[in-house]
């Protein structure tokens, strides 16, 4: 591995210098030229020449570094040993203390003992530009608009770039899929750019080849293909939303008439597509406008946190959860789902139902609404049905029924029918042409390809992205079929499971490295512009497709530009003018799809008879993992260590089972004394026999899971994901077949008897009756608006012995509206990216040492243990209250207490109050007594127990935010309210001799939050948003009775349940 | 110094053992004690013991080196349990230290004659215990090489320690305690060093002890000032010894953590300190008197008295435990109540019950004279109580932190190999220093013993 | 006579019990000797008084040390917290005097103790590894079980023969001259 | 009993005890002094540069404004080190074949940056911002000294934290009117006390408490 990256680094060097000429080639797109220029130029001692970077940063400088003693050790032995100690950011910490390693370290310690005395820094250099690009001001980040393509959607983003290094991603307010916000995946995607495990060159059978060599080979193949009119030429892609790529592919197919284009997207449900066909007889894209709906019913749809447009959905939805006073009204959300999702957890009413039974519920609802003959339901569901039906009807034209991505076509068709009958079409949702360039049905398209491969009809297979060998349904047996293809070419960012079996592998450029374009869920197109020249010898799909076209070697930029030149004519915008605007705004104006009138060709009565699965049969459902999705993010340390929204598990996936089923199967959790409630949980390992295949997984008891339904989340069990992602969790694809992509029956679960350690950051889910997360129903709130202040509350200001400090200038504060927060995790990753927060690895998380500055706590209301009847925090003790508990999320950053308990106990004054009321943490003064952490009631402080920060991998040094100190071993750290943003904002304002405007300074978490739940600002200014929120009666502080006077306060959560369902 | 002790042989005194075996003269006590240092050949037992403890000290060094290379992460600590063995051991050792000063100072002021033959090594024990304790505050920091930030010195940064922090109070309390104990000990040693100098068997001994004795001649003037200084030191050391453990208890009492934030801490920490201290004195005294045949000097009377002190302080500690519970429920503070329940039913309850067994139940045996006079049993009990006191600190430091205010942040603690090796290492260091001490310096204050002889013979003569 | 007198420190008599030396000392004083010193293996009550040594400065010195330490302690803390770099520590007042008490106390004790010991040594003129009295062969016993009374040559009433006789008269065993080594 | 020590031992013993104390004191003060000395602070240490660039000549003699080269000093945290291009603006014409300028020409030819040796080095955890100081009336020479008289630039101030604090606690003596910021020879006028107060008000300087908060410079 080391040798590999060494070798790669020499290359990077060349790539970067090579970047200049081909950039200069385009005199248009000035900003683009400027960016690429930035590459091999520098900020003070900072150069992008990676070799030099390494030298510099080892050379005891680099603005964003400060060092502990041992890093001053230049003794090669010691250096080398530090490398070995931390091979990789996000590497799992290996605590094994073998004797040899130990003796080495002893030697090393002697080596650095020698220079302990010397405090004198040696010479370092300033390496200025040779020709400084126009418009660049050293030390001032630039922002560029681009988009992250993802499934059938693309999220528009603004990327912060420091002297040519993209360091942070923000949402693009002008972009429909972003509206200024992002989600965890978008935030984390920048780490993939700098991932040292990415494939770095073109490979032919594992041998390094130059791009030109590939071009020649491609031309050879192309001529051969032309000869047979493209017969045997197959192209396999994922969902394509890039107009340019589609255009290129279509041209290619025109060039090779007999060639075929297949698609396989393992984690996007075909239900919507098929459902639309069923309902309208054609491909139709449904655009939801939840903001306009007063009552929403989600049929197993996680529309707030996944699927096309979810960020926009969350924003619209949250705006309807805004509550300024008791007279405001709320919308109401019903969710029927098999497994708790972010959407379900923040619903007003949630009904756990097996995925398979959802269709029955939909039919019943249709029946209630008179679209078909009534369908009888039993138990809770029946009661529910009446309430929901009446509620929906009440809000005719202002209600919305959303069918889940992973539900069958029938459910979608029914949803369309119901929405139509409720008069919602054109109001709370509308239809457009499909966003996918070429809608094709999964898995049929892939099935067809496999059949052809099997029949030996495929001579040349071009796999553009994706990892079918890993994620294709196992009954296709893709591997053996791929072996029969004479020439297979794989384009992917990593040399992964599939690449191994392909003759050629081309490393795929990150979206921040290449020109491209993509459509958002509503059709709006964005030109994807590169922020940095490729770090490695990587190429985009455009380049590879071009290689087989009649214009081999056509740069992606030209392709994109060419396509949009054509389009601009249609859009009636002269390209030379429009282009710059498109790049600047991050959207191509006028590309948003216009709603189409899709008339319903479907009647609920026409559906075949529904055969329900027996109630006691266990149903297995497959879902993409909330963090690593279908597996493409497996090597992303930030996402691996990110606690999954509901389970709070990190680094692994698990078989999710309901508490009741857990009883039956005798699976349980053992809280190990190490980490325990906050760290390691050992849970029972089970064998899963399903679809004639077997997989072994750790079982996780999840309150709220539908009783006889278990979840296998996709994306884990990778074998060639890279250093971070390989061999984590279990691979659910192994038991997934093409005829049961999302729901499978008749499987068997048998405990193996042993248990497996899982890293869970919050096991205990009970508030123990403390005033931490206060909630009420809308009715209660209207009756008693000040409910949040009952019970414990902060003593009045004046009854303190001490004179209160006065904050005359700015008083920074934060208000978090628990009514809006849905626990989606965007803030957690945003914070990690902004503040150079390290990844510590599973073992350390299991010891309770994760470093996130903001965590999201998940509590279940009124959960009790059957045994004691007392409050329980452990799902292992079954109790009916765990079958469908009310779930609440609470983001907890540093509370920035005015009477900070941490400050008073610090012996060296490393944490003190600023004049603006910030709880400053001074890393370079901290000696690491950890007293502050002990004395912090909220436990928001994080300690560098070991050398968690990766000081060695050069790529990761490029990623760091130069505005924030990089902490090393032995110091405490915590949320600073993004003090670097505050300072820079203040400095700009002061230069203009004006006060800071409200909203001028936003913290990383605030700007990422799709729900606008986090608001930061000057609490001293009565007109600021934050002051207004704090003035509300819902506003309270955690554990106010401690009189720590937090600056971070919360607005109590108010749910809006249906009175009908409440009673009885 | 006047000694108000009824003459030997009178009816009531027979029930009390003498503090000094019969038939001793100035010369005989001097010989007996000095010979241990000057003439007695190195026994195999001593050599073996020293070798063993020395090895353990090496373990300590290795543990610390490894700690400095890797970081405190090699220990079991985490968030929320930021303090683990390191602080537990620190408090434990400091506590043990207290007996020495207490015996030499307070019993001196109270004019307790029986202190004479045990104060010397008790003080030595104090010094060694403080030395062991002192290691921890330093190495438990994340960046020990920056620990000097805790010292008030004019830095180029223009910043100073934060004097509101109990940790800074610790720095001052512990260093003062160490210094004063050392002075007190040295002053006490002066006349004996002179004795050793005058009885030295070779030039080397002469030079060493001669230099240390500073030319002490025992002139009346010397003695006069000497006594005045010694009395003053005793007077100063008494409040000091109380303050030190009070300050240590502030580390917890000043914090807001449930189970720490209690006003009972200072008194009951001090009591606990004396408790463990006397236990440790017994742990040392019993083998010592056996090994060097000092039964005449450390008589049953001493053991008996120490046992009684342990019983008394043990009861105070028990009272402390009770008050913790009482206040929790009486105050109705939900966090304190919760913590109290945690101690009884929580995941760490077995530690708590073990603590009750060691610290409260076991010492009740000391009510019985038979037990107090059974040397072997006393020895075992002293060990049990030392363990108990260690457990007490574990319960306070670790268990309080595992489940504090916000349930989402609750965690658990599991010590690692390095936690144990460090604890073991300091025990080794403590023992090794003792081994060196008994061979290098008089383990019993000779001059004071002579005084005792004087008084005894005096009272003896009175009877005629 | 003259020069060997200058080498003479005094005459010393030896006793075997505290009582004897006590009475001897008293008689020496009453006989009008001013520069009398007694050497004993342990403090003998009343002996210092008997040879006319009453007041010692040790307590005063100690007091000074204590006051000095205390003032330094509080002064330092106040200056640091309230004057040189005033900072808002968890909303506590700059002069949080209750929090400054422990350090003040410790430094008081430290100052006092150090002054007490150093003062005692200094007043005793220690260290003084060389002293003519050590030349006396039997003086080795002074630190074990013998008691010595020395009448110094600088005493105006001193006369070698006369004084020696006096010592024998008060029942001293082995009377011996104490000489500086030439 | 024979004497163990010679007479002189008395003097030796007392002297060595006293000596030990004194020595300890001296050593301690020594450390504190060295920490403030140029040996640690690098104050007044001039460094060999790849090109013998003389600020004295360019600023002092030619009177070129600071901002001609240090372009971003008013707008950014970093004053900015001029790109080779800036040198060549003049030196493509002036002294365009003088030997000691070869490194400059070479850099321009080969597109390889000149590697200047850093003179002013703050610790990496200090976030100093040039622009705000310039905008609030702190002139270059207040920290950098009389650059216009330095053939080889050296660090004119200790750059220790306490040195920074001195000014952050009481900036007024160093405040200048806007037009004097780049004047290398500025000396505080007689009425600086008055002027300082007035300027502080005009510039809306923040309070000492704000200027000495940790997060003002450390993040």
- Among the listed residues A777, A509, A828, A482, the one whose alpha carbon sits nearest the alpha carbon of residue A645: A828
- Among the listed residues A583, A588, A587, A586, the one whose alpha carbon sits nearest the alpha carbon of residue A31: A583
With 60 as the cut, is the pLDDT of residue A96 above it?
no
Q: Give CA A211 to chain center in angstroms.
A: 32
- Among the listed residues A653, A680, A677, A681, the one whose alpha carbon sits nearest the alpha carbon of residue A667: A681
Interface chains of chain B (3 or more CB pairs under 8 Å): A, C, D
Q: Specify the pLDDT at position A894.
A: 96
Please give the average per-residue pLDDT across D74-86, as a whole number. Answer: 91
Q: With beta carbons under 8 A apart, name residues in chain D contacting A922.
A: 214, 218
With 70 as the cut, is the pLDDT of residue A74 above it?
no
As a whole number of angstroms, the distance between CA B197 and CA C143 comes to 9
Q: Which structure tokens are listed for D201?
A: 């008000």
As a whole number of angstroms, the distance between CA A453 and CA A468 comes to 14
pLDDT tier at A81, thresholds 50, 70, 90: very low
Does B197 contact D at CB distance below 8 Å?
yes
Query: C48-64: per-residue pLDDT in tens?
Result: 999 888 889 999 999 99
Proportion of chain A above pLDDT 70, given as a percent:
86
- Pick C92's closest partner by Cβ from A904, A914, A915: A904
Within 8 A by CB and 6+ apart from A217, the residues are A204, A504
pLDDT tier at A72, thresholds 50, 70, 90: very low
Contact by Cβ (8 Å): A856, A781: no
Q: Give CA A484 to chain center in angstroms.
A: 37
With 80 as the cut, is the pLDDT of residue A82 above it?
no
Q: With beta carbons under 8 A apart, name residues in chain B contacting D32.
A: 153-154
Does A1039 contact B at CB distance below 8 Å?
yes
As a whole number of angstroms, the distance between CA A667 and CA A755 comes to 9
Name A171's bridge partners.
A157
Query: D15-54: per-residue pLDDT in tens?
Result: 999 999 999 999 999 999 999 999 888 888 888 889 989 9
Kindly calculate the radius of gyration of chain D based on its CA atoms and give it in whole angstroms.
25
- Among the listed residues A494, A467, A492, A493, the one whose alpha carbon sits nearest the alpha carbon of residue A482: A467
Distance from CA of D206 to the nearest CA of C (A): 16
Is C91 in contact with A1045 (Cβ distance < 8 A)?
A: yes
As a whole number of angstroms, the distance between CA A670 and CA A763 comes to 11
pLDDT tier at A138, thresholds 50, 70, 90: confident
Helix (H, G, I), strand (E, B) or coil at A273: helix
Element (H, E) at C74: helix C58-78
Q: Specify the pLDDT at position A842.
A: 94
The neighbour count for residue D60, using CB atoms within 10 Å, is 18
Does B329 contact A at CB distance below 8 Å?
no
Contact by Cβ (8 Å): A31, A144: yes
As a whole number of angstroms, the distance between CA B162 and CA C95 comes to 12
Q: Specify the pLDDT at position A395.
A: 93
Alpha helices for A674-767 (secondary structure H): none
With 90 as the cut, is the pLDDT of residue A608 above it?
no
Contact by Cβ (8 Å): D189, D166: no
Is A909 in contact with B77 (Cβ distance < 8 A)?
A: no
E strands, A493-555, in order: 504-507, 516-519, 525-528
Q: Specify the pLDDT at position B261.
A: 92
Q: Specify the pLDDT at position D137.
A: 93
Chain B's closest residue to C39, CA to CA, is B219
**Could you give the angle at which helices B44-70 and B116-139 cross, rounded to 10 degrees?**
20
Is B207 in contact with D4 (Cβ distance < 8 A)?
A: yes
Does A935 contact B at CB distance below 8 Å?
yes
Is D1 in contact with C138 (Cβ distance < 8 A)?
A: yes
| Residue found by looking up tokens 């869920």 in the block | A521
Does B68 contact D at CB distance below 8 Å?
no
Distance from CA of C134 to the nearest CA of B (A): 8
Chain D's closest residue to A994, CA to CA, is D204
Distance from CA of A811 to the nearest CA of C (A): 14
As a whole number of angstroms, the distance between CA D180 and CA D177 comes to 6
Is A913 in contact with C89 (Cβ distance < 8 A)?
A: yes
Test the C interface: residue of A812, A904, A916, A1047 with most C CBs within 10 Å: A904
Contact by Cβ (8 Å): C5, B441: no
- Pick B78's closest partner by Cβ from A116, A675, A769: A675
Is B78 in contact with A68 (Cβ distance < 8 A)?
A: no
- Pick B156's closest partner by Cβ from D1, D4, D162: D162
| Residue count of chain A | 1064
As a whole number of angstroms, the distance between CA A854 and CA A833 comes to 12
Is B158 in contact with D161 (Cβ distance < 8 A)?
A: yes
Chain D's closest residue to B207, CA to CA, is D4
Q: Which residues of A663-692 are buried (b: 16+ CB within 10 A; e: fewer)?
A: eebebbbebbbbbbbbbbbbbbbbebebbe
With 80 as the cut, is the pLDDT of residue A870 above it?
no
Is D161 in contact with B154 (Cβ distance < 8 A)?
A: no
Within 8 A by CB and 6+ apart from D19, the residues are none
- Pick D76's closest partner by Cβ from A121, A139, A914: A139
Does B274 contact A at CB distance below 8 Å?
no
Contact by Cβ (8 Å): B363, B385: yes
Is A65 in contact with D124 (Cβ distance < 8 A)?
A: yes
As a whole number of angstroms, the distance between CA D136 and CA D202 comes to 9
As a whole number of angstroms, the distance between CA B155 and CA D162 comes to 8
With 80 as the cut, is the pLDDT of residue A39 above it?
no
Interface chains of chain A (3 or more CB pairs under 8 Å): B, C, D
What secondary structure, in 3-state letters, does B198-212 show? HHCCCHHHHHHHHHH
Interface chains of chain C (3 or more CB pairs under 8 Å): A, B, D
Rounded alpha-carbon distances, angstroms, from residue B195 to B114, B223, C126, C128, C144: 22, 14, 16, 16, 7
Is D5 in contact with C139 (Cβ distance < 8 A)?
A: no
Distance from CA of D210 to the nearest CA of C (A): 10
Distance from CA of C118 to the nearest CA of D (A): 11
Does B202 contact D at CB distance below 8 Å?
no
Query: A802-837: per-residue pLDDT in tens?
Result: 788 889 999 999 999 999 999 999 999 999 999 999
Is A677 in contact with B401 (Cβ distance < 8 A)?
A: no
The DSSP secondary-structure symbol of D57 reads I
Q: With beta carbons under 8 A apart, name residues in chain B contacting D165.
A: 158
Test the A interface: residue of B401, B409, B418 with most A CBs within 10 Å: B409
Q: Which structure tokens are listed for A1049?
A: 């306060």
Distance from CA of B336 to the nearest CA of A (A): 13
As a whole number of angstroms, the distance between CA B241 and CA B173 comes to 9
Contact by Cβ (8 Å): A1018, A811: yes
Q: Specify the pLDDT at position A43.
A: 31
Is B163 in contact with C80 (Cβ distance < 8 A)?
A: yes
As a whole number of angstroms, the distance between CA A14 and CA A1011 comes to 44
Chain D's closest residue to C122, CA to CA, is D14
Rounded alpha-carbon distances, angstroms, from residue A440 to A445, B437, D42: 7, 88, 69
Could you read off the pLDDT tens digit of each residue along chain B, which spans 464 residues?
344 444 444 444 445 677 787 888 888 889 888 888 888 888 899 999 999 999 999 999 999 999 999 999 999 999 999 999 999 999 999 999 988 888 888 889 988 888 888 889 899 999 999 999 999 999 999 999 999 999 999 999 999 999 999 999 999 999 999 999 999 999 999 999 999 999 998 899 999 999 999 999 999 999 999 999 999 999 999 999 999 999 999 999 999 999 999 999 999 899 999 999 999 999 999 999 998 888 888 999 999 999 999 999 999 999 999 999 999 999 888 899 999 988 998 888 999 999 999 999 999 999 999 999 999 999 999 999 999 999 999 999 999 999 889 999 998 898 999 999 999 999 999 999 999 999 999 999 998 888 888 776 655 443 33
D200 φ, ψ to 5°?
A: -55, -40
The neighbour count for residue A206, using CB atoms within 10 Å, is 10
Q: With beta carbons under 8 A apart, name residues in chain B contacting A943.
A: 79, 82, 142
Is C89 in contact with A899 (Cβ distance < 8 A)?
A: no
- Among the listed residues A923, A925, A928, A934, the one whose alpha carbon sits nearest the alpha carbon of residue A901: A934
The DSSP secondary-structure symbol of D60 reads I
**Which pairing describes strands A709-714 and A693-701: parallel, antiparallel, or unpaired?**
unpaired
- Pick B25's closest partner by Cβ from C129, C134, C145: C145
Q: With beta carbons under 8 A apart, name residues in chain D contacting C176.
A: none
Element (H, E) at C13: strand C8-15
| Residue count of chain B | 464
For residue B446, the number of C-alpha atoms closer than 13 Å in the C-beta half-sphere is 27
With 90 as the cut, is the pLDDT of residue D68 above it?
yes
Surface of A (854-913) touching D: CB under 8 A: 912-913
With 90 as the cut, is the pLDDT of residue A439 above it?
no
Least confident of A716-720, A1053-1057, D97-101: D97-101
As a whole number of angstroms, the distance between CA A713 and CA A639 comes to 15
Surface of D (156-185) touching C: CB under 8 A: 165
A765 φ, ψ to 5°?
A: -120, 20
Is C77 in contact with B163 (Cβ distance < 8 A)?
A: yes
- For residue A213, count CB atoms less than 10 angstroms from its CB and return exposed for 0-12, middle for 13-18, buried for 19 or more: middle
As a whole number of angstroms, the distance between CA B212 and CA B200 comes to 13
Average pLDDT of every residue of chain A: 85
Q: With beta carbons under 8 A apart, name residues in chain C contacting B224.
A: 43, 48, 53, 56
Does B204 contact D at CB distance below 8 Å?
no
| Residue count of chain D | 219
Surface of C (153-182) touching B: CB under 8 A: none
Is A129 in contact with D204 (Cβ distance < 8 A)?
A: no
Q: What is the ipTM of this complex?
A: 0.93
A:C CB pairs within 8 Å: 33
Distance from CA of A806 to the nearest CA of C (A): 9
- Pick A66's closest partner by Cβ from D80, D82, D125: D125
Phi-psi region of A1043 (alpha: psi -120 to 50; beta: other; left: phi over 0): left
């Amino acid at each position: 591995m080391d040798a590999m990256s060494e070798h790669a680094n020499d290359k990077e060097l060349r790539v970067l210098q090579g970047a200049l000429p081909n950039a200069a080639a385009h005199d248009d797109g000035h900003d683009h030229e400027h960016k690429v220029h930035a590459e091999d130029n520098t900020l003070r001692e900072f150069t992008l020449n990676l070799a030099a970077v390494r030298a510099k940063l080892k050379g005891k400088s680099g603005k964003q570094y400060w060092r502990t003693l041992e890093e001053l050790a230049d003794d090669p032995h010691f250096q080398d040993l530090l490398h070995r100690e931390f091979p990789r950011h996000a590497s799992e910490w290996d605590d094994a203390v073998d004797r040899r390693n130990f003796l080495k370290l002893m030697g090393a310690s002697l080596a650095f003992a020698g220079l302990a005395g010397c405090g004198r820094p040696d010479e370092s250099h300033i390496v200025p530009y040779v020709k400084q690009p126009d418009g660049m001001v050293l030390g001032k980040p630039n922002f560029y608009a681009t988009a992250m393509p993802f499934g059938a959607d693309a999220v528009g983003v603004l990327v912060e770039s420091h002297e040519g290094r993209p360091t942070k991603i923000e949402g693009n307010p002008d972009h429909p899929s972003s509206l200024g916000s992002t989600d965890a995946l978008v935030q984390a995607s920048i780490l993939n750019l700098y991932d040292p495990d990415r494939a770095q060159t073109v490979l032919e059978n594992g041998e390094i080849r130059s791009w030109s060599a590939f071009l020649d080979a491609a031309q050879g193949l192309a001529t051969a293909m032309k000869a047979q009119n493209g017969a045997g030429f197959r192209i396999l892609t994922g969902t394509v939303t890039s107009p340019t790529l589609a255009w290129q592919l279509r041209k290619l197919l025109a060039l090779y008439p007999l060639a075929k284009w297949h698609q396989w997207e393992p984690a996007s449900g075909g239900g919507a597509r098929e459902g639309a066909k069923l309902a309208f007889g054609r491909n139709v894209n449904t655009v939801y406008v939840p903001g306009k709906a007063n009552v929403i019913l989600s049929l197993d749809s996680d529309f707030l946190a996944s699927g096309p447009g979810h960020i926009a959905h969350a924003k619209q939805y949250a705006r309807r959860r805004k509550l300024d006073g008791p007279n405001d009204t709320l919308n109401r959300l019903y969710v029927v789902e098999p497994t708790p999702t972010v959407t379900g957890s923040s619903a007003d009413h949630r009904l756990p139902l097996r995925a398979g039974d959802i269709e029955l519920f939909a039919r019943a609802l249709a029946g209630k609404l008179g679209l078909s003959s009534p369908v009888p339901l039993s138990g809770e569901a029946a009661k529910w049905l009446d309430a929901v039906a009446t509620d929906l009807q009440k809000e005719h034209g202002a209600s919305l029924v959303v069918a889940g991505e992973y539900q069958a076509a029938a459910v979608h068709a029914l949803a369309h029918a119901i929405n139509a009958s409720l008069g919602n079409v054109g109001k709370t949702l509308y239809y457009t042409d499909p966003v996918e360039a070429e809608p094709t049905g999964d898995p049929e398209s892939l099935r067809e390809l496999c059949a052809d491969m099997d029949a030996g009809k495929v001579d040349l297979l071009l796999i553009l992205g994706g990892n079918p060998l890993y994620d294709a349904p196992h009954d296709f047996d893709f591997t053996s079929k791929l072996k029969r293809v004479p020439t297979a070419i794989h384009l992917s960012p990593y040399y992964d499971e599939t690449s191994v079996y392909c003759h050629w592998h081309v490393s795929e450029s990150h979206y921040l490295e290449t020109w491209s374009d993509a459509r958002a869920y509503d059709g709006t197109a964005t030109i994807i512009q590169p922020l940095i020249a490729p770090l490695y010898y990587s190429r985009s799909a455009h380049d590879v497709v071009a290689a087989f076209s009649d214009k081999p070697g056509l740069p992606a930029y030209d392709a994109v530009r060419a396509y949009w030149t054509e389009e601009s004519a249609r859009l009636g915008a002269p390209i030379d003018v429009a282009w710059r605007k498109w790049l600047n705004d991050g959207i191509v104006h006028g590309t948003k799809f216009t709603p189409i009138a899709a008339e319903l060709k479907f009647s609920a009565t026409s559906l075949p008879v529904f055969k329900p699965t027996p109630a006691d049969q266990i149903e297995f459902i497959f879902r993409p993992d909330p963090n690593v999705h279908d597996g493409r993010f497996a090597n992303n340390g930030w996402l691996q260590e990110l606690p999954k929204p509901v389970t709070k598990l990190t680094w692994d996936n698990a078989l999710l089972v309901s508490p009741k089923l857990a009883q039956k199967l005798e699976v349980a959790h053992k809280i190990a004394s190490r980490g325990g409630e906050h760290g390691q949980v050992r849970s029972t390992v089970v064998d899963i026999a399903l679809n004639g295949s077997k997989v072994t997984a750790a079982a996780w008891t999840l309150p709220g899971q539908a009783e006889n339904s278990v979840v296998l989340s996709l994306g884990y069990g990778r074998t060639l994901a890279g250093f971070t992602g390989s061999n984590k969790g279990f691979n659910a694809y192994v038991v997934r077949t093409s005829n049961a992509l999302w729901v499978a029956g008749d499987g068997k679960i048998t405990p193996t008897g042993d248990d497996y350690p899982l890293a869970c950051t919050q096991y205990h889910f009970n508030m123990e009756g403390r005033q931490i997360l206060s909630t009420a129903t809308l009715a209660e709130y209207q009756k008693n608006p000040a409910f949040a202040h009952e019970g414990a509350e902060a003593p009045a200001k004046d009854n303190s012995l001490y004179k209160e400090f006065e904050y005359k200038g700015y008083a920074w504060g934060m208000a978090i509206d628990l009514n809006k927060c849905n626990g989606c995790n965007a803030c957690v990753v945003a914070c990690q990216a902004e503040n150079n927060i390290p990844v510590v690895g599973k073992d350390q998380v299991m010891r309770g040492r994760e470093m996130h500055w903001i965590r999201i706590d998940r509590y279940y209301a009124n959960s009790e243990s059957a045994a004691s009847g007392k409050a329980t925090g452990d799902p292992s003790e079954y109790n009916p209250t765990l079958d469908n508990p009310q779930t609440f999320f609470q983001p907890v950053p540093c509370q920035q207490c005015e009477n900070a308990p941490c400050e008073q106990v610090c012996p060296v004054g490393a944490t003190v109050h600023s004049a603006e009321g910030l709880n400053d943490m001074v890393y370079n003064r901290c000696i690491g007594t950890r007293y502050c952490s002990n004395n912090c009631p909220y436990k928001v402080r994080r300690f560098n127990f070991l050398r968690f920060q990766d000081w060695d991998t050069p790529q990761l040094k490029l990623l760091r935010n130069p505005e924030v100190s990089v902490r090393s071993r032995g110091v405490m750290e915590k949320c600073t309210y993004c003090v670097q943003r505050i300072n820079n904002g203040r400095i700009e304002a002061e230069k203009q001799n004006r006060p800071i405007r409200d909203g001028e300074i936003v913290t990383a978490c605030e700007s990422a939050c799709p729900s606008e739940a986090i608001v930061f600002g000057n609490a001293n200014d009565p007109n600021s948003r934050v002051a207004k929120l704090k003035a509300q009666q819902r506003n309270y502080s955690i554990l106010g009775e401690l009189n720590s006077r937090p600056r971070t306060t919360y607005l109590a959560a108010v749910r809006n349940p249906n009175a009908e369902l409440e009673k009885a | 110094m006047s000694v108000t002790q009824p003459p030997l042989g009178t009816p009531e005194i027979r029930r009390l053992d003498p503090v000094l075996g019969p038939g001793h003269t100035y010369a005989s006590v001097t010989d007996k004690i000095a010979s241990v240092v000057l003439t007695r050949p190195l026994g195999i037992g001593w050599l073996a013991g020293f070798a063993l403890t020395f090895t353990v000290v090496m373990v300590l060094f290795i543990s610390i080196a490894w700690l400095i290379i890797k970081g405190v992460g090699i220990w079991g600590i985490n968030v929320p349990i930021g303090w683990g063995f390191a602080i537990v051991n620190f408090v434990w050792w400091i506590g043990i230290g207290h007996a020495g000063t207490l015996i030499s100072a307070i019993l001196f002021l109270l004019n307790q004659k029986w202190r004479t033959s045990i104060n010397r090594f008790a003080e030595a024990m104090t010094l060694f215990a403080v030395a062991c304790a002192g290691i921890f505050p330093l190495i438990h920091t994340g960046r020990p090489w920056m620990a000097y930030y805790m010292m008030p010195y004019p830095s180029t940064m223009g910043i100073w320690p934060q004097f509101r922090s109990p940790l800074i109070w610790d720095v001052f309390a512990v260093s003062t305690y160490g210094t004063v104990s050392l002075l007190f000990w040295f002053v006490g040693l002066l006349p004996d060093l002179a004795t050793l100098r005058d009885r030295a068997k070779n030039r080397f001994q002469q030079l060493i002890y001669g230099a240390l004795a500073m030319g002490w001649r025992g002139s009346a003037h010397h003695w006069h000032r000497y006594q005045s200084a010694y009395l003053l030191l005793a007077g100063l050391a008494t409040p000091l010894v109380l303050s030190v453990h009070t300050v240590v208890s502030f580390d917890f009492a000043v914090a807001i953590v449930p189970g720490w934030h209690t006003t009972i801490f200072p008194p009951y920490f001090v009591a606990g300190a004396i408790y463990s201290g006397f236990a440790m004195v017994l742990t040392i005294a019993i083998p010592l008197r056996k090994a060097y045949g000092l039964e005449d000097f450390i008589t049953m009377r001493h053991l008996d008295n120490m046992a009684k002190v342990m019983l008394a302080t043990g009861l105070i500690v028990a009272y402390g435990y009770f008050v913790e519970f009482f206040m929790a429920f009486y105050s109705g503070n939900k966090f304190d109540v919760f913590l109290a329940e945690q101690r009884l039913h929580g995941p760490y309850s077995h530690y708590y019950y073990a603590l009750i067994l060691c610290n409260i139940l076991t010492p009740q045996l000391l009510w019985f004279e038979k037990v107090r006079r059974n040397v072997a049993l006393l020895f075992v009990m002293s060990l049990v109580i030392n363990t108990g006191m260690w457990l007490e600190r574990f319960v306070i430091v670790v268990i309080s932190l595992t489940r504090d205010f916000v349930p989402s942040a609750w965690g658990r603690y599991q010590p690692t190999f390095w936690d144990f090796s460090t604890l073991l290492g300091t025990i080794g260091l403590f023992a090794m220093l003792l081994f060196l001490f008994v061979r290098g310096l008089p383990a019993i204050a000779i001059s004071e013993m002579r005084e005792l002889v004087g008084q005894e013979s005096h009272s003896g003569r009175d009877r005629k | 006579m003259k020069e060997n007198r200058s080498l003479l420190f005094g005459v010393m008599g030896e006793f075997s019990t505290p009582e004897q030396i006590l009475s001897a000392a008293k008689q020496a004083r009453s006989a009008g000797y001013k520069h009398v010193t007694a050497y004993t293996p342990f403090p003998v009550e009343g002996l210092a008084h008997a040879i006319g040594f009453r007041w010692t400065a040790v307590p005063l010195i100690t007091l000074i040390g204590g006051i000095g330490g205390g003032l330094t302690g509080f002064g330092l803390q106040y200056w640091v917290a309230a004057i040189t770099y005033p900072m808002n520590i968890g909303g506590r007042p700059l002069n949080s005097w209750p929090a400054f008490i422990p350090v003040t106390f410790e430094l008081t004790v430290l100052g006092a103790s150090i002054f007490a010991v150093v003062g005692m040594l200094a007043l005793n003129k220690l260290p003084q590894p060389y002293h003519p009295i050590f030349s006396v062969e039997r003086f080795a016993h002074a630190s074990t079980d013998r008691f010595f009374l020395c009448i110094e040559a600088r005493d105006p009433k001193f006369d070698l023969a006369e004084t020696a006789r006096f010592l024998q008269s008060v029942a001293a065993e082995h009377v011996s001259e104490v000489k500086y080594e030439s | 009993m024979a004497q163990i020590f010679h007479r002189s031992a008395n003097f030796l013993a007392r002297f060595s005890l006293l000596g030990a104390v004194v020595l300890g004191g001296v050593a301690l003060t020594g450390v504190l002094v060295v920490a403030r000395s140029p040996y640690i602070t690098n104050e007044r240490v001039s460094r060999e540069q790849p090109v013998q660039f003389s600020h004295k000549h360019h600023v002092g003699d030619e009177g070129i404004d600071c901002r001609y080269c240090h372009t971003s000093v008013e707008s950014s945290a970093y004053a900015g080190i001029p790109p080779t291009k800036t040198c060549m603006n003049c030196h493509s014409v002036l002294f365009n074949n003088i030997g000691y300028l070869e490194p400059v020409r070479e850099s321009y030819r080969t597109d390889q940056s000149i590697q200047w040796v850093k003179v002013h080095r703050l610790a990496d955890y200090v976030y100093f911002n040039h622009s705000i100081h310039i905008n609030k009336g702190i002139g270059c020479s207040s920290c950098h000294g009389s650059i216009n008289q330095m053939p080889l630039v050296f660090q004119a101030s200790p750059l220790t934290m306490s040195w920074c604090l001195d000014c952050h606690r009481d900036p007024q003596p160093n405040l200048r009117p806007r037009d004097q910021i780049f004047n290398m020879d500025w000396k505080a006028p007689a009425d600086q006390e008055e002027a300082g107060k007035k300027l502080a008000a005009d510039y809306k300087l923040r309070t000492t408490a704000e200027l000495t908060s940790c997060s003002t410079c450390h993040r």
